[in-house]
């Protein structure tokens, strides 16, 4: 028997991450200008480190209850009650937002069910849908990356079970405006479709306070996390909130998959709930404004309202070819076809030092003017 015969058909539907390939490439370059990384460039705040260390020293190194330690659950539930008054939303602590997304899809999607995903999308969305046996239905949002609700409504069929999207979005940084959020929430309620709103970048809103489509529809499932907001992406701590039956089913599934979120990191999460990240968010807004101003005369792009990405159009050829040209100058970015069925744009992450941004801008200007 060949080793390939042992591999499931399900596993073969999942492709190797193009983002991870660039991460590996970055390790091989001596002095890369790395504008590819989708994680904050700052370190975990000291109070959060101290909370994790204290948890280790206190012996909190074993399994926790599946849904999360009581201290963190209470803090998250209080946060939900403030943000979504009058709703009876249940909470689950997950092993990263990716863990929350997988549990949500396992809980909701049967083989053959359709999941609508706006294009561009976070690289994992189509892969996770296929992994659980669902069918991916793509709705195009080019060129302004705004959600066309008429187009979305037309894509819904009797097999449609869910719509999966992020706001602020990766890779575009676009934020769904409140009117669109309200109308989208109403559409899902009217058509009986589950809306899964990935809000991992909720802290990164630059032009208006954060809002959620769940404010207008209590049936919306929201995925959130600590990794981006506190620089602790590798600690794998996420959480989700939504209708009680769905959260209960996700909790049951977590018992037999992730078991629980990492124990010591949950104690750091309690400390994080009282840690102010506004200064860091203000600095990222400054970086966004600086990058937009520096590139606006050379590239076409939509000004991002959140996250820490810019998604410009390649000035010539395909985005993949343009990113290869940039690589010859030690500049690392992600081609748009990693996040899309098109290969016209590329993703810049400005989660980087000012010195790295200056170096990257110099190369991008040079490439645009060739």
- Alpha carbons 7 and 340: distance in angstroms, whole number: 27
CATH number at residue 200: 3.40.640.10
* pLDDT of the residue at 30: 72
Question: pLDDT digit string (tens) for 57-111?
Answer: 999 999 999 999 999 999 999 999 999 999 999 999 999 999 999 999 999 999 9
Whether residue 206 contacts residue 288, with contact meaning beta carbons closer than 8 Å, is answered with yes
pTM: 0.94
261 lies in the same domain as 329: no
pLDDT tens column, 289-300: 999 999 999 999
The verdict on whether omega for the bond into residue 171 sits within 30 degrees of 0, i.e. cis, is: yes
- Which residues touch 356 (CB under 8 Å, ≥6 apart)? 33, 34, 35
The model's pLDDT over 239-279, given as tens digits with 9 standing for 90+, comes to 999 999 999 999 999 999 999 999 999 999 999 999 999 99
Total count of domains within the chain? 2
Last residue of a domain, one of 217, 244, 272: 272
- Cα separation, 287 vs 150, in Å, equals 35
Task: Give residues with Cβ within 8 angstroms of 132, minimum separation 6.
Answer: 102, 105, 106, 109, 111
In terms of domains, do 59 and 125 share one?
Answer: yes
Question: What mean pLDDT value characterizes the chain?
Answer: 94
Nearest to 228 by CA among 188, 256, 257, 199: 199
Quick count: other Cβ atoms within 10 Å of Cβ 159?
13
Assign residue 361 the CATH number of its domain.
3.90.1150.10
- The Cα 343–Cα 21 span in angstroms is 17
For residues 168 and 33, state if they share a domain.
Answer: no
* Residue 186: other Cβ atoms inside 10 A: 14
Whether residue 57 is found in the same domain as residue 188: yes
What's phi and psi for 127, nearest 5 deg?
Answer: -65, -40
Closest listed residue to residue 171, CA positions, set 20, 307, 298: 307
The answer on 352 and 227 residing in a single domain is no
What would the pLDDT profile of 140-193 be if each residue is shown by its tens digit?
999 999 999 999 999 999 999 999 999 999 999 999 999 999 999 999 999 999
CA dist., res. 295 & res. 312, Å (int): 9
Least confident of 27-36, 44-53, 174-183, 345-354: 27-36
Task: Please answer whether residues 331 and 360 qualify as being in contact, where contact means their C-beta atoms are separated by less than 8 angstroms.
Answer: yes
Range of the domain at 156: 46-272
């Amino acid at each position: 028997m060949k080793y390939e015969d042992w591999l499931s058909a399900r596993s073969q539907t999942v492709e190797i991450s193009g983002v991870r390939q660039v991460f590996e490439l970055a390790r091989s370059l001596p002095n890369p200008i790395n504008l590819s990384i989708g994680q904050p460039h700052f370190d975990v705040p000291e109070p959060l480190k101290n909370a994790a260390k204290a948890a280790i020293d206190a012996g909190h190194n074993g399994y926790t209850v599946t849904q999360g330690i009581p201290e963190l659950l209470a803090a998250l539930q209080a946060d939900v009650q403030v943000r979504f008054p009058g709703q009876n939303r249940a909470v689950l602590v997950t092993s990263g937002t990716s863990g929350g997304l997988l549990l949500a899809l396992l809980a909701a999607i049967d083989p053959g069910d359709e999941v609508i995903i706006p294009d561009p999308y976070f690289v994992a969305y189509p892969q996770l849908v296929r992994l659980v046996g669902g069918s991916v239905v793509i709705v195009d949002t080019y060129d302004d990356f705004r959600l066309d609700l008429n187009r979305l409504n037309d894509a819904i069929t009797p097999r449609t079970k869910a719509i999966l999207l992020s706001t602020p979005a990766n890779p575009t940084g676009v934020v769904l405006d409140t009117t669109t959020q309200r109308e989208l929430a109403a559409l899902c309620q009217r058509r009986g479709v589950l809306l899964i709103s990935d809000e991992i970048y909720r802290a990164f809103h630059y032009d208006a306070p954060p809002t959620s489509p769940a404010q207008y529809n209590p049936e919306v499932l929201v995925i959130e996390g600590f990794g981006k907001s506190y620089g602790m992406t590798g600690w794998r701590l996420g959480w989700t909130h939504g209708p009680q039956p769905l959260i209960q089913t996700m909790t049951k599934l977590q018992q037999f998959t992730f078991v629980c979120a990492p124990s010591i990191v949950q104690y750091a999460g309690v400390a994080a709930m009282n840690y102010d990240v506004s200064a860091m968010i203000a600095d990222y807004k400054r970086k966004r404004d600086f990058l937009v101003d520096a590139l606006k005369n050379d590239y076409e792009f939509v000004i991002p309202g959140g996250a820490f990405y810019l998604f410009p159009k390649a000035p010539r050829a395909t985005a993949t070819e343009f990113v290869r040209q940039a690589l010859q100058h030690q500049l690392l970015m992600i081609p748009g076809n990693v996040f899309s069925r098109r290969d016209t744009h590329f993703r810049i992450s400005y989660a980087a030092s000012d010195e790295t941004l200056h170096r990257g801008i110099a190369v991008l200007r040079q490439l645009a003017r060739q």
